[in-house]
């Protein structure tokens, strides 16, 4: 059964704090990741993903994140077209995470 297409930052926080271990895939550019990033995330820029898709597990939930959720939604659609039915987009991206979950995280 495929995962939901989208999830809110509160959902991801709840999953992580209750012991869930989804792979958080950050598709932002290196300069953006240098400003802030979710803990324990895998960084593969959106443009590099087609060449590096083999690094992703097919047997694990994948939560795709970017700045606000636009690029990650595109990547989630692409991953699903490649057979990653457990890929989910993080609504609001790192910006929503910083504003609603981790007030110590930098925003940009």
**Which residues have a catalytic role annotated?**
66
Indicate if the alpha-carbon torsion angle 34, 36, 42, 47 is positive or negative: negative
Cβ atoms of 23 and 40 within 8 Å: the answer is: no
Picking from 55, 66, 60, 108, the residue whose alpha carbon sits closest to that of residue 91 is 66
């Amino acid at each position: 059964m495929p995962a939901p297409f989208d999830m809110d930052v509160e959902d991801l926080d709840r999953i992580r704090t209750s012991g869930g271990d989804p792979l958080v895939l950050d598709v932002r550019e290196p300069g953006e990741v240098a400003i802030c990033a979710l803990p324990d995330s895998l960084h593969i820029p959106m443009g590099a993903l087609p060449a590096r898709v083999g690094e992703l597990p097919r047997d694990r939930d994948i939560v795709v994140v970017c700045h606000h959720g636009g690029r990650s939604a595109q990547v989630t659609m692409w991953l699903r077209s490649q057979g990653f039915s457990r890929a989910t987009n993080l609504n609001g991206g790192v910006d929503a995470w910083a504003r609603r979950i981790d007030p110590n995280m930098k925003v940009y």
